[in-house]
Amino acid sequence: MNDLHTITLERPADRVALITLNRPKAKNALNLQTMREITDLTARLDADPDVGAIIITGSDTVFAAGADIKEMRDLTFSEVHAQDWLAGWTALADVRTPLIAAVAGYALGGGCELAMMCDLLIAADNAKFGQPEITLGVIPGMGGSQRLTRAVGKAKAMDLCLTGRMMDAEEADRSGLVSRVVPTATLREEALTAATRIAGFSAPAVAMAKEVVNQAFETGLAEGLLFERRVFHSTFATEDQKEGMAAFSEKRAPQFRHR
Ligand code: HXC
């Protein structure tokens, strides 16, 4: 795709898309153009039936060092408020295809928030997470106070948001921020293996699994359990449910057709 300037797109495996943040001179800082490129591209990939999982990654040393401070520094309150600055990122949370953040190095501010918008967060052992906005005289604006608190609880979220300190991969793993930690050298391979595995399962079942887990953040337990059960019932309307259960009974690998 030649209309991409701040990210790149590869298709490293069948049904898998790999987006790489690509502003090395700015430590992959997320400017408005990056936001538009990521949200437009993920919306396009989400609509493509041949894409079953999307990986978002950075370099070996930096995932993203946050929102672009130099782009924001001279904005006034009226401007950020009128443009509802950063609201565009919510489109990423609407993507139904599983998103895998493969994070090596710094994931700070908006970088940490971008990783937290993804469904799986695979961290390299050199990853460092933080919400250093307080050091700039601002606060998190892309979910750092909300998604981080839900992921790691008030104690750690307050610590990161109030002190601006970074959390290494081991602490992030212990705190529940990341799905798993892998050696930096194998991050891409591990993310690709997870993406390929997910993309091979029934696409409607995968989308439903993502939807019901996310619902846990929005509803009470009884309502959430009812929602889960109803969505579970609806999996029986798919061809893939018949195929998956037939394949198990016949001791063969399923051939999912994603419908
Ligand atoms: C713009 C950035 C940037 C950023 C780094 N750069 N982070 N530019 N926005 N977020 C630029 C630097 O200015 C520098 O440009 C170049 O990238 C290399 O950065 P260095 O600082 O020289 O690299 P290093 O010493 O290796 O330190 C890496 C770093 C540090 C630890 C990641 O750059 C850093 O602390 N960055 C800022 C992290 C941060 O505060 N993030 C939160 C942003 S606010 P030059 O031109 O000098 O080479 C945010 C808010 C979200 O995300 C929403 C609420 C508003």
ipTM here: 0.97
Print pLDDT tens along the chain (259 aa). 568 999 999 999 999 999 999 999 999 999 999 999 999 999 999 999 999 999 999 999 999 999 999 999 999 999 999 999 999 999 999 999 999 999 999 999 999 999 999 999 999 999 999 999 999 999 999 999 999 999 999 999 999 999 999 999 999 999 999 999 999 999 999 999 999 999 999 999 999 999 999 999 999 999 999 999 999 999 999 999 999 999 999 999 999 999 9
The DSSP line for 172-201 is HHHHT--SEEE-GGGHHHHHHHHHHHHHHS
Per-residue model confidence (pLDDT) at position 54 = 98
Number of alpha carbons in the 13 Å side-chain half-sphere of residue 3: 6
Q: H helices of the chain, where?
A: 32-46, 69-72, 77-82, 90-93, 110-117, 147-163, 169-175, 187-200, 203-215, 221-235, 239-249
Looking at ligand 1, which residue's alpha carbon is closest to its atom 36? 65
210 phi and psi angles, rounded to 5 deg:
-60, -45
166 C-alpha vs ligand 1 centroid, how far in Å?
14
Q: Can 228 be counted among the known catalytic residues?
A: no
On whether the CB atoms of residues 130 and 166 are closer than 8 A, the answer is yes
Q: Is 70 helix (H, G, I), strand (E, B) or coil?
A: helix
Assess whether the C-beta atom of 138 lies below 6 angstroms from ligand 1: yes
86 C-alpha vs ligand 1 centroid, how far in Å?
18
Assess whether the C-beta atom of 69 lies below 6 angstroms from ligand 1: yes
From the CA of 66, give the closest atom in ligand 1: 52
